[in-house]
Structure 1
Amino acid sequence: MLDVHGGVPLTGTVVVRGAKNLVPKAMVASLLGDTPSVLRGVPAISDVDIVTGLLELHGVHVTVGPDGDHADGELTLDPANVAQGSIVDIDAHAGSSRIPILFCGPLLHRLGQAFIPDLGGCRIGDRPIDFHLEVLRQFGAVVDKTPGGIRLEAPQRLRGTKIKLPYPSVGATEQVLLTAVRAEGVTELKNAATEPEIMDLVMVLQKMGASITVDPARVIRIEGVDSLTGFTHRSLPDRNESASWASAALATGGDIFVKGARQQDMITFLNVFRKIGGTFEVGEDGIRFSHPGQELRSIVLETDVHPGFMTDWQQPLVVALTRASGVSIIHETVYENRFGFTDALRRMGANIQLYRECLGGTPCRFGRMNFKHSAVISGPTPLTGADIVVPDLRGGFSHIVAALAAEGTSHVGGIEIISRGYEHFLQKLDTLGARIEYASGC
């Protein structure tokens, strides 16, 4: 339990390293190589710890930086002795992460078999793995669902195939890439996700010897190769964390320089940030985000796949919008249950109404379903401290920001989940002047 004393603007500098949505996937890609890989910019987050444990269970030797130095976030991953891990140990390590499903393709290539336990992750909407399994079947894998998880085998070398995604899913695109690069023949993936993290994974695989082309119309073609080598790569910075700190500056009336933030990955966010009234300055090594010192403006916004406004950006931004003048509307088109975090904001005094209707023009999969996926935020409304339990990663960070923006003290539980995607976030908050402390008895 964390006690958060609000009413203090966050000011100062934070450092953002490699992207949570790339680093664990690049670590999995190291399984595909015949020689060691070096990954730099690796953040100290729990998802990295989970994947490290899973890789080690499968025989990959993971070492941290030269002489154990964490300063550059460097990992060396040596897959020379890949082997099938213990089912019990895999299940114990993977329970809180959805990354293990991406181990399937690489393990099928290396060992001819794989086991994937029941998957965890944030409860923000339906993330079925059935499509992942169907993709693997198209490559030639034999899939057997068991009560404890999923067992896969590749009696023969996996074969290239043609796939069209019903939705440009990031996870499904990653699955295809990690499986197709060593499959026999050509794989064509239509309606692929093209997020910056996907493109960075493509660059990792290309460094390993893969042949991948990306067409403008969301078509990715992969020519399978017999073998791959290791890679040396520095991850792109985490644009989600960068945007979160930007929203924190806006919500608390602060001024935060995010060292490592990169403009080219955040163009859509920066446009919205400016429309609300926030100010930013792009420097050579980061972006400075600040409150304008005057009333914020309401907006109408729809989340979407890249290059649209990321779903991960909207939750921290909603907190800032409670301080904007007028009525803001957000239409969530990516995850159907992403607004669950607003319950706590309403208890703190926010005026937020949720609707099942699509309050926007972007094509949406949830329009005729019973999901409250549109939000109307009326402001400005002052927030007051409350008791909060963190529901998911981005929602949890949003709750911390709301508590910092509120008058009085909030008691926040379940903060451990935030460490899945935010490196040293409590230390960073302390550096920015936040008044936080562990509750007595915790």
Structure 2
Amino acid sequence: MNTVANDARAAGARVGLSGDTITINGGSPLTGRIEVKGAKNLVTKAMVAALLGESPSELRDVPDISDVRVVKGLLEVHGVKVEHNVSEGILLLDPAGVESAHMTDIDAHAGSSRIPILFCGPLLHRLGEAFIPDLGGCRIGDRPIDYHLEVLGSFGAVIEKLPTGIRMTAPDGLTGTKISLPYPSVGATEQVLLTAVRAKGKTELSGAAIEPEIMDLINIMQKMGAIISVDTDRVIRIEGVDKLQGYTHRALFDRNEAASWASAALATGGDVFVGGAQQAEMLTFLNIFRKVGGAFEIHDDGIRFYHPGGELKPVVVETDVHPGFMTDWQQPLVVALTKANGVSIVHETVYEQRFGFVDALVKMGANIQLHSECLGGHPCRFGQRNFLHSAVISGPTELHGADIEVPDLRGGFSHLIAALTAQGTSRVSNVGIISRGYGDFITKLRQLGADFVIEGE
């Protein structure tokens, strides 16, 4: 069995799936209400930030997803005491007993996750050393860790590449530095923040990512005692401090999950209230959703997304860093665009191989063509590199049931949407991968009236 399948089966077992395959009878609208909790892309980083504190931290609105379980395991092998109240969505993290972990323990808990690279800065501050195994993650394009290593090296870390992974030491401690990112990478920005807050002196980061999850991480660190300023030109300045305390924080809602359920409502002709979703962080998505022909209502406790009837309209979309249209939003939206009357174009500028999921949609009857040119907008950094990073979706087309295999997190949820939209029966395998970022998604599907069976139940 390949690594993706192993990860899916393990993830499925952790969230209560007795098998990693579900059979879906499609063609019915999703209707009802579901709740979203804290953002996967914030919660896991906030858990790592707890390593920096000298007192316990409390994180609320934590989703029950496998990525949280992975980070919990990694923290525990490093001596952090973690209490997870799953039903209440509360994590208590006490770093008082932090110690070095064995390479085999780290490797066993990390699996295919890329989160261990972000442990390095905090561990170098706490212990003077860190080790990370080979890293995995969703296979959606080039996500090298070389720049992470360069960043850590610029702070003074000594890096040794071993056959089993990478060992780092900081014999003289870490010192603030000046860093300019060639691209506003979320991961690299997180690395700098988690390392700079306790480094000696000042750090200046230009070309930083400013996603809402990054800003919420900064909010957490400020609560801990960090001094961080963010300028309008994507420059973040950090003044290192000697010590940090624990935090108490309610995580920002998961806007990626909210957008995914919104696209599912639109594609199936349904009506879904996403409790916990907020307008400000979804502004760009809401504009595109309305242009396609979807409707929404903003409420204090969430957003209602629904298909108001009539034809859906084609759009031209380019993914981009915040405040642009998120790359994680395009995959679920593409399924809805197969129902639009006309030709839509989606130009992916963040991950060069994020259209691998469309093979399954084409198998199900979608008319989608992939191109290496930058279509529908401005040239991007992938334009001359022969990556199929622009999609032309012609519709409307009626999808039919098929046997499909989940390739990655967002693509996997898009396959679920396609199966729910399709006429007939679909068999979707490797669904456990979806639990990496969608808490309790099986229960939510049931709440919305989806017709499916989990194989093995």
User: TM-score per shorter chain, which class?
Assistant: over 0.9
Once the two structures are TM-superposed, the CA of residue 360 in structure 1 deviates from its matched residue by 3.1
The residue aligned with 2:356 is 340
Q: Report if the CA contact (8 A) 1:95-1:118 is conserved.
A: no
Partner residue of 1:21 out of 41, 59, 62: 41
Amino acid at match of 1:33: G
Name the TM-score, length of structure 1 as normaliser: 0.98
The residue aligned with 1:36 is 56
Partner residue of 2:346 out of 330, 334, 338: 330
The residue aligned with 1:222 is 238
Gaps of 5+ in 1: none
The residue aligned with 1:54 is 74
SS of alignment partner, residue 41 of structure 2: coil
Once the two structures are TM-superposed, the CA of residue 292 in structure 1 deviates from its matched residue by 1.5
Note the alpha carbon deviations across 1:51-73, whole angstroms, 9 max, x for none: 000000000000124xxxx3331
Once the two structures are TM-superposed, the CA of residue 359 in structure 1 deviates from its matched residue by 0.5
Note the alpha carbon deviations across 1:219-273, whole angstroms, 9 max, x for none: 0000000110000000000000000000000000000000000101000000000
The residue aligned with 1:434 is 450
Partner residue of 2:403 out of 375, 383, 387: 387
The residue aligned with 2:438 is 422
Amino acid at match of 1:364: C
Once the two structures are TM-superposed, the CA of residue 176 in structure 1 deviates from its matched residue by 0.1
Report the identity percentage: 71
Once the two structures are TM-superposed, the CA of residue 134 in structure 1 deviates from its matched residue by 0.3
Amino acid at match of 1:59: G
Give distance in 2, aligned partners of 1:338 and 1:126. Answer: 10
Note the alpha carbon deviations across 1:31-81, whole angstroms, 9 max, x for none: 00000000000000000000000000000000124xxxx333111100001
Amino acid at match of 1:51: V
The residue aligned with 2:108 is 92
Once the two structures are TM-superposed, the CA of residue 86 in structure 1 deviates from its matched residue by 1.3
Matches within 5 A, 1:51-130: 51-65=71-85, 70-130=86-146
Note the alpha carbon deviations across 1:77-114, whole angstroms, 9 max, x for none: 00001001111010011122111100000000000000
Once the two structures are TM-superposed, the CA of residue 362 in structure 1 deviates from its matched residue by 3.0
Give distance in 2, aligned partners of 1:417 and 1:257. Answer: 24
Q: Report if the CA contact (8 A) 1:33-1:228 is conserved.
A: yes
Once the two structures are TM-superposed, the CA of residue 120 in structure 1 deviates from its matched residue by 1.0
Give distance in 2, aligned partners of 1:106 and 1:76. Answer: 18
Give distance in 1, aligned partners of 2:88 and 2:309. Answer: 36
The residue aligned with 1:297 is 313
SS of alignment partner, residue 340 of structure 1: coil
Matches within 5 A, 1:64-213: 64-65=84-85, 70-213=86-229
Note the alpha carbon deviations across 1:274-328, whole angstroms, 9 max, x for none: 0000000000100000001111000011000000000000000000000000000
Partner residue of 1:45 out of 57, 65, 80: 65
The answer as to 2:313 corresponding to 1:313 is no
Amino acid at match of 1:429: L
SS of alignment partner, residue 338 of structure 1: coil
Give distance in 2, aligned partners of 1:172 and 1:436. Answer: 40
Q: Report if the CA contact (8 A) 1:160-1:186 is conserved.
A: yes
Note the alpha carbon deviations across 1:302-361, whole angstroms, 9 max, x for none: 000000000000000000000000000010000000000000000000000000000033
Give distance in 1, aligned partners of 2:88 and 2:301. Answer: 15
Q: Report if the CA contact (8 A) 1:95-1:117 is conserved.
A: no
The residue aligned with 2:252 is 236
Once the two structures are TM-superposed, the CA of residue 183 in structure 1 deviates from its matched residue by 0.1
SS of alignment partner, residue 120 of structure 2: helix
Note the alpha carbon deviations across 1:363-384, whole angstroms, 9 max, x for none: 4110100100000000000000
Give distance in 1, aligned partners of 2:378 and 2:264. Answer: 27
Q: Report if the CA contact (8 A) 1:331-1:373 is conserved.
A: yes
Give distance in 2, aligned partners of 1:126 and 1:200. Answer: 26
Give distance in 2, aligned partners of 1:232 and 1:253. Answer: 40
The residue aligned with 2:368 is 352
Between the two proteins, the alignment pairs up a number of residues equal to: 437
Once the two structures are TM-superposed, the CA of residue 195 in structure 1 deviates from its matched residue by 0.1
SS of alignment partner, residue 178 of structure 1: helix
> What root-mean-square deviation, in Å, do the aligned CA atoms of Structure 1 and Structure 2 show?
0.8
SS of alignment partner, residue 337 of structure 1: coil
The residue aligned with 2:11 is none
Residues 357-366 or 21-30, more deviating: 357-366
The residue aligned with 1:250 is 266
Give distance in 2, aligned partners of 1:43 and 1:123. Answer: 23
Amino acid at match of 1:60: V
Give distance in 2, aligned partners of 1:286 and 1:362. Answer: 34
Amino acid at match of 1:206: Q
Give distance in 1, aligned partners of 2:123 and 2:390. Answer: 40
Residues 6-15 or 86-95, more deviating: 86-95
SS of alignment partner, residue 64 of structure 1: strand
Amino acid at match of 1:205: M
Give distance in 2, aligned partners of 1:337 and 1:89. Answer: 31
Runs of 4+ in 1 over 4 A off after TM superposition: none
Amino acid at match of 1:100: P
